[in-house]
Structure 1
């Protein structure tokens, strides 16, 4: 696979076209065209699932950065990421995940449905007020606020701080792109990491003095180091809503471009709609792993220290797994997607993200039956890792 083709404007605009070509070449291929340490691209559904659960392939952890970016500890953003469970494996990952997982049990997520419904209604009221003056920017006024407000409630972050968080979350997200760790992005991400670290350090101190029923209090009572505690709060908060924000934006676009399917959406079938949105345009298109020792993926060698592009978006369109994979079909009988990952790092917030989508989409169209795009998003280059709209302007018409 030509890495330059993937990173080109054409590749960023229409990655499924590249995915389709890859599926004619097998399930994994060598990577050409870049000096970024990528050896293999794996894109077949079963092969992707295998890599994600195979302990031979690890997160891009501190050992990987020591090999490829020896000065990485000078960057607060990289230290935050590598101190979190999202970039560790084995016991260091499992212990923290078990603690944080208590906030995302099936019972707790189910109990949140009433709160998600109430929050959705309040945000729709706000959209209606804003719409009186013209088109509304959906991503900032709804797609961000719904999941971030839910995560704020779980962690114990005051709702009034959410506007402050968004640009800092976006700054850290930018360096996760395949070619995103450039000087400008790193400066912004490092500044954001310092500010977020100071914020959560202060919040942890308050919760240690006056504990509450929230995740900050739960983690503050553990024996995690202060660095690991703050890093996991930052990354859990960020990860807890970024993918759902893109699910809401991507999913709304899919429905507005397909009036017949939008008309058939209801509270009874919305689960299958949300699952198909996640398959068709997953908010996370690519994950990256590396091989500490020489390994092989479906006959393609991966030398020690080299990285693997684990192509979730391509796996979700594998014709060996899905009938007519490039069609958006909420009624498809095919098995589920890999949009929330697989194996030890399967997304803790998957059930919560689905719940938020299942509540939001029927409510949006019930309140605004003639909801429409005020401006076509067009074919624009988007990130490949966290894929979604920066902005999405809609006209919120009633019945």
Structure 2
């Protein structure tokens, strides 16, 4: 009989990471919250994950909490870099740093990017048309899904176009530290990537101090250099790296997952072409059905806080992707249906750690997928897609398509 430990063990196999959804279905039959180890729970129910994302009694693994179960983590530059960003900060540090970033990374600034995003989409579609004109396969992930969001976030940040090709491999290496398990080789590669990205933004911030521009890096440098000193130099670097990496890594996965689903469901692709399927609703269903971010975690902020009778200090893995397929929340949870009217996926997390770039990711997906399918009505899969060997960040390494 299944229990939580068996389920998480299955998820951590290559087969489980490649297709976790049957495991999630088994988990739902056991209950919304399951014990997995002596001091850890697994939350799979929609309501449970929704509440825990927002419960102020729980937080992320900041430096204080992490030192309790991973002493010496800060010896690794990759882990320290991520830990110094808002991704792994709790109150009051999180609220302070996030409010400063949000003051310049505004909804108005993102909305103003729509014309540039549309222009970028059509420019990349022109390049796709040239590359696939003779009928040869084109890797959508390499030619489009990565290049669109990296171009948009770099335009927002003020990263020169000549440098943008460097970031895909560095981001892939760095984000390995977000996985539940990683090898020494992966950790070493993550440290190297962290060093290179930190050095890059050290140079770029110095340049913007000397010659400010109308970009996000310049705006955040001014915040860091303010008289109140509320954003330290290492915090500045850590959050610039986070904005860059999070700005394209998960969006590239969203675009790849979205196209793969369109190719498997031709009626949905036709609906995006003729306008009978709302692009925003389609994006929501992709986020629900095959989330680019499968799980996060929470820890009790008080050492005396007990969870479901487990020892004080018990943590919780939040399986956002499992919650998105909870049969207690959704009718036909394992069916892809972009006509759903009340999707509300938990893929962007919630509460104080709701994804700062959610609006930008939606803008890019809502713009790109209908334009792609309309431009190439005969678009088809040209080879079996290759998934990345990751559990937390789910996407394709390659997705070969033929345009005609």
Quick one: distance in 1 between partners of 2:305 and 2:402? 52
Q: Report what 1:295 is aligned to.
A: 305
Query: Is the 2:39–2:311 contact (alpha carbons within 8 Å) kept by the matching residues of 1?
Result: no
- Pair 1:247 & 2:249 matched: no
* Structure 1 residue 365 corresponds to structure 2 residue 366: no
After superposition, residues 1-399 of structure 1 pair within 5 angstroms as 1=4, 2=6, 3-32=8-37, 39-132=40-133, 134-180=136-182, 182-222=183-223, 223=229, 224-266=231-273, 267=275, 269-292=278-301, 293-297=303-307, 300-377=308-385, 382-397=389-404
Tell whether the 8 Å contact from 2:327 to 2:333 is kept in structure 1 after alignment: yes
For the aligned residues, what is the CA RMSD?
Answer: 1.7
User: How many equivalent residue pairs?
Assistant: 389
Cα distance in 2, alignment partners of residues 236 and 196 from structure 1: 12
Return the offset for 1:192: 0.8
* Cα drift, residue 332 of structure 1: 1.6
Per-residue deviation, residues 37-80 of structure 1 (Å, max 9, x unmatched): 86100111111011111122211111232112212121111110
Distance 1:114 1:65 in 2: 42
Q: Distance in 2 between matches of 1:235 and 1:12?
A: 24
Aligned counterparts of 2:312 and 2:241: Cα–Cα separation in 1: 31
How many Å separate the matches in 2 of 1:250 and 1:102?
31
The TM-score, its normalising length taken from structure 1, stands at: 0.93
Shift of 1:196: 0.7
| Partners of 2:80 and 2:266 in 1: CA distance | 46
The one-character-per-residue Cα deviations of 1:243-263 (angstroms, maximum 9, x if unpaired) are 110000000000001112211
Report SS of the residue matched to 1:90.
coil
**In structure 2, how many angstroms separate the alpha carbons of the residues matched to 1:17 and 1:59?**
28
Give the deviation of 1:302 after TM superposition.
Answer: 4.4
Deviation of 1:123 (Å)? 0.5
Shift of 1:199: 0.5
TM-score, normalization: structure 2? 0.92
**Which sections of structure 2, spanning at least 5 residues, go unmatched?**
224-228
Residue 296 (structure 1) shift: 4.4
Distance (Å, rounded) in 1 between the aligned partners of 2:131 and 2:192: 32
Q: Distance in 2 between matches of 1:93 and 1:272?
A: 31
Q: Is the 8 A contact 2:104 2:219 kept in 1?
A: no
The answer (yes or no) to whether the contact 2:285–2:343 under 8 Å persists in 1 is: no
Residues 53 and 342 in structure 1, CA contact (< 8 A), matched pair in contact too: yes
Q: Distance in 2 between matches of 1:146 and 1:328?
A: 25
Mapped to 1, the partners of 2:311 and 2:160 lie a distance apart of: 47
Measured in 2, the distance between the counterparts of 1:196 and 1:130 equals 31
Q: Is the 8 A contact 2:179 2:392 kept in 1?
A: yes
3-state SS of 2:40 partner:
strand
The offset of 1:303, in angstroms, is 3.1
User: Which structure 1 residue ranges, 5 or more long, are not aligned?
Assistant: none
